[in-house]
Amino acid sequence: MASLINCPHCGVRPKEEFSIRGSASVARPAPTAPDEDWNRYVFVRDNERGRIQEYWHHSAGCRRWLVVERSNVTHEVFSVTDAEDKAKEAAR
C-alpha cells in the first residue's frame, strides 16, 4: 500500500506526487545574523526521532507548499497544512 498525503487543495494523493524539502521547525536567522548562526542553520541539524514537521511541495499537483507533521519512525501523517496558512498563524 502506498503512503497517502491528504493535500488540503487536491485531496488524498500518493506521496510520490510530493517532494520533501526540509524541516519546518528550524528558525531562520535574521539576515544580519553572524556567519556562525547561518552555518548552524544550513549545515548543523539534530536528527530527531519521532514526530516532526517538514516542508513538502506538491510538485505533481497543485504546486503548493505544505507543512506535513509526521513520524519519521512509522511514517504516519498527523496533519497537513498549507504553508501560507501556517505562516499567517505563526505571525499572530
| Grid-cell match 528558525, residue found | 27
Q: Does the pLDDT of residue 2 top 80, yes or no?
A: no
The CATH number of residue 81's host domain is 3.30.2270.10
Q: Does the pLDDT of residue 9 top 60, yes or no?
A: yes
pLDDT score at 26? 85
pLDDT score at 27? 86
- Residues spanned by the domain of 46: 37-92
Domain membership of residue 16 (yes or no) is no
Give tens-digit pLDDT for 68-83.
Answer: 999 999 999 999 999 9
Give tens-digit pLDDT for 28-66.
Answer: 899 999 999 999 998 988 888 999 999 999 999 999 999
Domain membership of residue 61 (yes or no) is yes
Cβ contacts of residue 76 below 8 Å, gap of 6+? Answer: 70
Structural domains in the chain (count):
1
Domain membership of residue 17 (yes or no) is no
Q: Tell me, what amino acid is at 71?
A: S
Domain membership of residue 90 (yes or no) is yes
